[in-house]
């Protein structure tokens, strides 16, 4: 997860987020090259005292500076479109998680199993353990198996919310009266932290999301215990 002074993206914990980070780095390199080229051109013009008094047009350079941005946009658009299709792709999910946003907490239902549902509230600061994070930990974590295709259905009971998990590269709007869905696969075990990403009222910043990724055998034991 992100810590103080961490200005980069969170470590990826899904194949989708890995691709998003690759695309981010790819785009930044293109922007860096454009910045260097423009800065070099401006410095050359400022340090050059030569002028052409009779220059009226330059069709060659105009063609070049029209073609180069078009090619640059193509190099950015192609991987971007590929990622958009990957985000919307849902390929035979083995598990469905239903998420309902409330003011101001989340409730979860495991639609494939009977009577597995619970509410998830932010833990008050007085109840935190030494290894837990203020404003990020919850009383009931979402337990999910790793290396499993998981579909998440998101809706809201009152106002607009947004279920966002940066390490998984997923952010789904929770809209009252509508089901939005997404799909992800967790690559390794651990704790993943997220928050509501839609301003939903006075306690918007106090409805965090915590996913605990565990091996499949541990997930089955947890289901049997519930």
| CA 177/CA 163 separation, integer angstroms | 16
* Residue 187 clears pLDDT 80, i.e. is over it: yes
Q: Where are the domains of the chain?
A: 15-46+59-88, 95-225
Mean pLDDT in residue range 106-112: 91
Residues constituting the chain: 226
**What is the model's pLDDT at position 12?**
86
* Residue 1 clears pLDDT 60, i.e. is over it: no
**What is the model's pLDDT at position 119?**
92
Backbone angles phi, psi at 148, to 5 degrees: -135, 135
Model pTM score: 0.82
Share of the chain above pLDDT 70, in %: 98
| CA 212/CA 206 separation, integer angstroms | 19
**What is the model's pLDDT at position 31?**
93
Pairing of strands 142-145, 208-214: parallel
Q: Order of strands, edge to edge, in the sheet holding 208-214?
A: 142-145, 208-214, 190-196, 161-165, 170-174
Q: How does pLDDT run across 73-97, given as a tens digit for each residue?
A: 999 999 999 888 888 887 788 899 9
Could you give the C-alpha distances from 49 to 45, 46, 160, in angstroms and in order? 8, 8, 60
Q: How does pLDDT run across 28-84, given as a tens digit for each residue?
A: 999 999 999 999 988 988 888 877 777 777 788 889 889 999 999 999 999 999 888
pLDDT range class, residue 153, cuts 50, 70, 90: very high
Q: How does pLDDT run across 211-226, given as a tens digit for each residue?
A: 999 999 999 998 888 7
The CATH architecture one would assign to domain 95-225 is Sandwich (2.60)
Rounded (10°) CA dihedral 105, 109, 115, 119 = -10
| CA 210/CA 141 separation, integer angstroms | 5
**What is the model's pLDDT at position 6?**
72
**What is the model's pLDDT at position 70?**
93
Q: How does pLDDT run across 119-149, given as a tens digit for each residue?
A: 999 998 888 888 888 888 998 899 999 999 9
Beta partners for 180?
154
pLDDT range class, residue 108, cuts 50, 70, 90: very high
């Amino acid at each position: 997860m992100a810590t103080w002074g961490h200005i980069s993206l969170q470590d990826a914990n899904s194949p989708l987020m890995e691709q998003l980070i690759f695309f981010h780095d790819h785009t930044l390199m293109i922007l860096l090259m454009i910045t260097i080229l423009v800065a070099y051109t401006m410095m050359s013009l400022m340090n050059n005292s030569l002028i052409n008094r009779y220059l009226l047009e330059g069709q060659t350079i105009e063609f070049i500076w029209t073609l180069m941005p078009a090619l640059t946009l193509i190099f950015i658009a192609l991987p971007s479109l590929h990622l958009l299709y990957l985000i919307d792709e849902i390929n035979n999910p083995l598990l469905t998680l239903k998420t309902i946003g409330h003011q101001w907490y989340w409730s979860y239902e495991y639609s494939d199993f009977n009577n597995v549902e619970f509410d998830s509230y932010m833990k008050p600061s007085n109840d935190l353990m030494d290894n837990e994070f203020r404003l990020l930990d919850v009383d009931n974590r979402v337990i999910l198996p790793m290396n499993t295709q998981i579909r998440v259905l998101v809706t809201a009971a009152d106002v607009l919310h947004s279920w966002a998990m940066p390490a998984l590269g997923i952010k789904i709007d929770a809209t009252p009266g509508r089901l939005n869905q997404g799909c992800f696969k967790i690559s390794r075990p651990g704790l993943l932290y997220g928050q509501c990403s839609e301003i939903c009222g006075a306690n918007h910043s106090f409805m965090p999301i915590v996913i605990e990724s565990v091996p499949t055998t541990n997930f089955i034991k947890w289901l049997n215990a519930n």
